[in-house]
Amino acid sequence: MSTLNYTGKAKDRYLDLVLRFPLRPLRCDEDLDAAVAVIDGLLSRPSLKAEEQDYLEVLGDLVEAYETESHPLGPVSDADLLSHLIEARGVSQSEVAGATGIAVSTISEVLRGKRTLNRAHIGKLARYFHVPPDTFVF
């Protein structure tokens, strides 16, 4: 981290960020919106200095803490989660089946809510979609 030069020639990037948006608990949705705007601004940069990355990590923790407390998410069904992953990756049920070795009929039944995923399915899908297996466990 750079040091703050009292002559004004060098600035501490972390301190500059803290001065613009202090790191403190978020207390309302307006605070959340402001924090997300700062995060979006940092993430839009091609690269971040170590100080900026540290700030981003702490601000992300504050956002996560607020959202967990104020906007908790309920459990997501296997069908909704699998549907989202398929859509986000822009693939078809057949492509998922071919890449994972899970039968197309099984994937179809999961998507229709007629069947749940078992451990073998979860492992294969987690590897295919590059997500941790616990993404599928509620």
Answer yes or no: is pLDDT of 35 > 50.
yes
Chain segment 90-125, per-residue pLDDT in tens? 999 999 999 999 999 999 999 999 999 999 999 999
The one-letter amino acid at 60: G
User: From residue 3, how far is each of 16, 20, 23, 37 by CA, in Å?
Assistant: 12, 18, 19, 26
CA gap 89, 82 in Å, rounded: 11
pTM over 0.75: no
CA gap 21, 41 in Å, rounded: 12
User: From residue 82, how far is each of 21, 39, 76, 112 by CA, in Å?
Assistant: 37, 28, 10, 11
Distance of CA 55 to the CA centre of its chain: 17
Tokens of 52: 């900026």
